Amino acid sequence: MKTWRQRGIYGLMSLLLLALAGCGFHLQTGSTVPAKLQGMRVSGSGPSGGALATAVHRELQRDGNFSRADGPVLQIDNAYVSQRIISISPSSGVALEFLDTLHAQFSVMDHQKKAILPVQSLLVENSFSYNSGNPLATNEQQIRMERLLMEQGARQILRRVLNSPVVRQSGG
C-alpha cells in the first residue's frame, strides 16, 4: 500500500513539475543583465528623475546587478509625472478619477560616454479613483499610485534596455 501511495505522490510531483516547466516557470539563476551592461549605474534628472532612478536601481539589484564606478550609465532625463482628471461626479462636480502619466527619456552610455543605446522615450499611465468620503486615504493612495508608476516605469525601461537589439547584437 505504501509503495502505491509513494508512486502516486511521485507521479503528482512529476506532473506538477512538467506543468510548471511547460508554462515557462524557472528558478532565478543569476543576473539577466548582459555582460556588457554588468555594473550598470543609474542616474536621473527632472522632478521625478530621482524616484525613477531609485526604482530602476532597486530592480537591477534584485536581479543581481550591483553598480560599479566603471560600469555603463543608464541615464534617465526629464522625468516627470502629470495628472489629468478623467471623471467628474455629475452630482457634486468633484473629480472622481485621475490619470497619472510618467514621462521620461532614457539612454545607456558606456564609461567613455559612448552611446550603447540611443535616447528613447518612456510613457507609463495609471488611473486611480478618488474617494471623497475619505480624503486622507486619498493622499496615501496618491503616494502609492506614484510609487507603482515608478516601479512600472523601471520595469519597462529595463525590459526595453535588456531586450534592445542594439544591446543584444553588441554581445557580452
Q: Which pLDDT score is estimated for 50?
A: 94
Domain CATH code at residue 72? 3.30.160.150
Q: How many domains does the chain have?
A: 1
pTM (two decimals): 0.74
Question: Can you give the three-state secondary structure of 53-94, one letter per residue?
Answer: HHHHHHHHHHCCCCCCCCCCEEEEEEEEEEEEEEEECCCCCC
Q: Domain range spanning residue 129?
A: 33-169
Q: What was the pLDDT predicted at 158?
A: 95
106 in Cβ contact with 118 (< 8 Å) = no
Residues of the chain with pLDDT under 70: 1-2, 11-31, 130-138, 170-172
pLDDT score of 134: 59
Contacting residues for 60 by C-beta, under 8 A, at least 6 apart: 33, 40, 42, 66, 67, 158
Q: Is residue 11 part of a domain?
A: no
Indicate whether 150 belongs to any domain: yes
C-alpha cell at 29: 539563476
pLDDT attached to residue 156: 96
What values do phi and psi take at 90, rounded to 5? -65, -25
